[in-house]
Amino acid sequence: MYDLIIIGMGISGISAAIYAKRSNLNVLIIEGDTPGGTLNKIPNITNYPGFSKISGPDLAMNLFNTINELEIPYKLEKVTDVILEDIKTVKTKDNIYHSKYLLIASGRKPNLLGLEHEEEFLGKGISTCALCDGALYKNKEVAIVGGGESALSEALYLAKICKKVYLIHRREEFRAKELTIKNVKEEPNIELILNNEIKKLIIKDNTFKGIELKNKKLNISCLFIYIGSTPNTEFLKQTDIKLDNNSIIVNEKNETNIKDVYASGDVIKKDIYQLITAASEGATAAINISTKNR
């Protein structure tokens, strides 16, 4: 029986765990994939206090080291189901855990285009992480689909590694910072393909060969997909937790509508999805939980 179980070891869950542990709560973190979460996908961070520039994986490692230094217990298991009664029950494939309080900090997952063969070729020509897979396509031609800040920043990252980067966007205008848009437009290695859509993946001999757009085909080695994300809330399906478009609704204390259940970071409904807000909400939730537990 734990005081607090935290689902997700991204920056939000880790920040919460640090505050919880320092308040003497008996805390457990459960992480279904890689400690650090989305941080592991960010090539360069230039807007996190204390670092003029740091890579996402380096910041993830620093945070993970803090978890180990504070001897905070964690399990690398995916949460499949939760029961939100007075005692909170958290189920994974092989285990069941119990706690007084629950913090959901499970982040978001990248959206896919919904094309045939897309999921089958993830990691084999289709990717949602330029930092993880970009180096595999050194001096090759690749494409990115998307028109937001992530798509544009990742296109700039890939332009330094790959022979050519096609940036495909279904509209004329991008939704990104002015400076990022300017840098993309000035980068000779990036070719913009606007007002266009990917119709089909070209697969031959069980190998990804390229993509078919509205009016042309592109032979590329990899397609990077950056078209937004969906909150990781599947394990809450059996609960009455209030969601808006799959994002968890919380108040200013990061409490959900269910007693002693909190949520923080990219999984909640909010205006600003950044590292600093995710960290701050994790800390807010943990401080409120420890105050309530006194």
Ligand X SMILES: Cc1cc2nc3c(=O)[nH]c(=O)nc-3n(C[C@H](O)[C@H](O)[C@H](O)COP(=O)(O)OP(=O)(O)OC[C@H]3O[C@@H](n4cnc5c(N)ncnc54)[C@H](O)[C@@H]3O)c2cc1C
* Residue found by looking up tokens 């973190």 in the block: 29
Binding residue for ligand X, selected from 23, 26, 33, 257, defined by CB under 6 A: 33
Mark residues 143-182: x for contact with ligand X by CB under 6 A, - for none: -------x--------------------------------
Contact present, 67 and 16 (Cβ < 8 Å): no
Stretch that binds ligand X, among 36-44, 205-213, 243-251, 252-260 (CB under 6 A): 36-44
CB of 264 to ligand X, least distance (A): 7
Please report the DSSP string for 15-33 in residue order: HHHHHHHHTT--EEEEESS
Q: Which of 18, 28, 79, 220 binds ligand X (CB under 6 A)?
A: 79
| Residue 8 or 210 with smaller CB distance to ligand X | 8
The site that binds ligand X (CB under 6 A) totals a number of residues, namely: 33
Stretch that binds ligand X, among 168-176, 214-222, 236-244, 267-275 (CB under 6 A): 267-275
Cβ density class 76-97: b for 16+ within 10 Å, e for less? ebebeebebeeebebebeeeeb
- For CA atoms 175, 179, 183, 186, give the dihedral sign: positive
Q: What is the DSSP letter of 94?
A: S
Touching ligand X, residues 90-129 (CB under 6 A): 105-107
Our finding on whether 12 is near ligand X (CB under 6 A) is yes
Please give the single-letter amino acid code of residue 210: G
The pair of structure tokens assigned to 51 is 């670092």
Of 2, 4, 6, 10, the one binding ligand X (CB under 6 A) is 10
Q: Count CB-CB contacts under 10 A for residue 133.
A: 19
Cα distance from N-terminal residue to C-terminal residue, the chain: 17
Residue 80 near residue 90 (C-beta atoms within 8 A): no
CA count, 13 A, side-chain hemisphere, 247 = 17
For residues 213 and 241, which CB has a smaller minimum distance to ligand X in the complex?
A: 241
Q: Give the pair of three-digit tokens for residue 221.
A: 């080695």
Q: Which is nearer to ligand X, 8 or 147 (CB)?
A: 8
Q: How far is the CB of 217 from ligand X (least distance, A)?
A: 27
Stretch that binds ligand X, among 7-15, 216-224, 245-253, 286-294 (CB under 6 A): 7-15
Helix (H/G/I), strand (E/B), else coil: 257: coil
From 45, 112, 122, 181, residue interacting with ligand X (rule: CB under 6 A): 45
Residues that bind ligand X (CB under 6 A): 7-13, 30-33, 37-39, 41-42, 45, 47, 78-79, 105-107, 150, 232, 235, 265-266, 273-276, 278
